[in-house]
Structure 1
């Protein structure tokens, strides 16, 4: 019997209709969003994570912990399976979840069966591929048959990547983002996209915020249309509505974006930030905003666009 772990509900229905045998669980975390506590104690990790999500986003901590406990009970019985297959995608959202799942599995005090991964960044039948949920059920069996088995070097990389992602110093993660990996080929680019979420050294905007202001500088646009532009042009992030709403709300609160019904527009202050005449961080609150293990409030780390690397300001 095989245990399949799907990253999110978008793939669930097509997987169920694919004819692939085995048990299935859906991994619903969004570990690319908010604080990821730096601890090897998984119970403590989920408790602290639940408290953060409740405080920062109003996500019910009891429901979160209940789902985490359910997943834990299934994974604790992983030794009873012949194989574990992870179905994840190329973007930051999925890759962060992937390295955590591998890290989580490695922390279990059980003998694991072989673990394999189905992951891809394009498909010949799907133009502008963004994820497994865009496929049809008939596409999945060939992908399953071509899955990649995880080796010890992959476990080591995933463990190092997760611990670096959860640390408050991004330099180790930056080094790992440049390390080639045959079986985790999308991890490096995803980690580089993550690092570009640090405030820019030039004006305090990160890559996502800069994208939004840059597009709004061309004229007013419906919020939904702005999101579609993001999904088409910066699909490396894999963010859904929730993450993008967090960004647009912060931009509005900082006074660089204005909303009128469904329309968004850039303000005079926003144009000054975009021109590097003002710094976004002087107007945007960073309280309780984290990217992985880095609290943005008073962090000295910045992304240097010209050098393409992390710097200490």
Structure 2
């Protein structure tokens, strides 16, 4: 039986324990932001490539080399394999995990065993705080992942913007995967409505309003301290920073 590790990002891959056997696949998308729905898987990747090109000053070739080529490896995983999913509990990582599980449901491999390798409770949003020994420990205590169709529907509800169904599915998964409901709640809280731009956006707006001379670095550090459950990088927060600074 072949073994695979799907790692959410290069940071973990660069320090992945040499003691663990198996082939690594690096997931480099960021489904916390940008287009989520398309008529087909292929069209979604085209839309994502254009979005990443625009928002992250990248190129279509870079997206193909860094993202699509790694995604293609999912389809090439043979039947009867073990797949370990290394995704942290924050919304950034969870939305990526939901996509991966939806993709496995689409591919429909035979006798694939899926395992979730979650961080220690002390550091739910960061493998970076784990020692080599601790990374091996959480692998040893990995959780078998079942209910693949339900996970696939979780992604589809997320992509469709159907928060009612999203909450229902997260509640169904809650008994075995308690962190999913928290990620879904974080997602819903960030959505704009008639009274708010969204919880994290409002935090940035009010921080700048009260302290107009703060640098972006200061705002970003404050944001990370307040909302680690989102997993936002500096690019996402920078957009809000630039937007709200214009209003001061």
Please report the TM-score for the alignment, with normalisation by the length of structure 1.
0.72
Structure-2 residue corresponding to 1:111? 110
- In the alignment, the residues of structure 2 paired with residue 52 and residue 221 of structure 1 have an alpha-carbon distance, to the nearest angstrom, of 29
By how many angstroms is 1:93 displaced?
0.1
Matching residue within 214, 221, 226 for 2:214: 221
Matching residue within 153, 168, 171 for 1:175: 168
In structure 2, the CA distance between the partners of 1:183 and 1:24, relative to structure 1 (3 Å rule), is farther
How large is the RMSD of aligned CA atoms in angstroms?
Answer: 2.2
- In the alignment, the residues of structure 1 paired with residue 46 and residue 141 of structure 2 have an alpha-carbon distance, to the nearest angstrom, of 37
- Give the SS at the match of 1:35: coil
Specify every segment of 5 or more residues in structure 2 that has no aligned partner in the other structure, as ranges.
none
- Give the SS at the match of 1:79: coil
114-123 or 23-32, which deviates more: 114-123
Compare CA radii of gyration and give the structure with the larger one.
1
By how many angstroms is 1:190 displaced?
0.9
By how many angstroms is 1:71 displaced?
1.9
Specify every segment of 5 or more residues in structure 1 that has no aligned partner in the other structure, as ranges.
257-266, 268-313
Structure-2 residue corresponding to 1:32? 32
48-57 or 4-13, which deviates more: 48-57
By how many angstroms is 1:65 displaced?
2.6
Deviation by residue 1:21-56 (Cα, 9 ceiling, x = unmatched): 1111111110101111244x3222212221233345
By how many angstroms is 1:196 displaced?
1.7
Structure-1 residue corresponding to 2:202? 210
Structure 2 contact 120–138 (Cα < 8 Å) conserved: no
- Give the SS at the match of 2:138: helix
Select the structure that is richer in helix.
2
Structure 1 contact 14–136 (Cα < 8 Å) conserved: no
Deviation by residue 1:169-196 (Cα, 9 ceiling, x = unmatched): 4332243344442343211111111112
- Give the SS at the match of 1:14: coil
- In the alignment, the residues of structure 2 paired with residue 121 and residue 212 of structure 1 have an alpha-carbon distance, to the nearest angstrom, of 29
Structure 1 contact 79–112 (Cα < 8 Å) conserved: no
1:40-59 correspondence to structure 2 within 5 Å: 41-59=40-58
In structure 2, the CA distance between the partners of 1:30 and 1:183, relative to structure 1 (3 Å rule), is same
Structure-2 residue corresponding to 1:157? 150
Structure 2 contact 8–26 (Cα < 8 Å) conserved: yes
By how many angstroms is 1:228 displaced?
1.2
- In the alignment, the residues of structure 1 paired with residue 190 and residue 47 of structure 2 have an alpha-carbon distance, to the nearest angstrom, of 23
- In the alignment, the residues of structure 2 paired with residue 223 and residue 56 of structure 1 have an alpha-carbon distance, to the nearest angstrom, of 18
1:3-152 correspondence to structure 2 within 5 Å: 3-17=4-18, 19-39=19-39, 41-79=40-78, 82-120=81-119, 122-123=121-122, 130-151=125-146
- Give the SS at the match of 1:196: helix
Structure 2 contact 85–115 (Cα < 8 Å) conserved: yes
Structure 2 contact 167–184 (Cα < 8 Å) conserved: yes
Structure 1 contact 190–236 (Cα < 8 Å) conserved: yes
Deviation by residue 1:58-82 (Cα, 9 ceiling, x = unmatched): 4312321333432243222212563
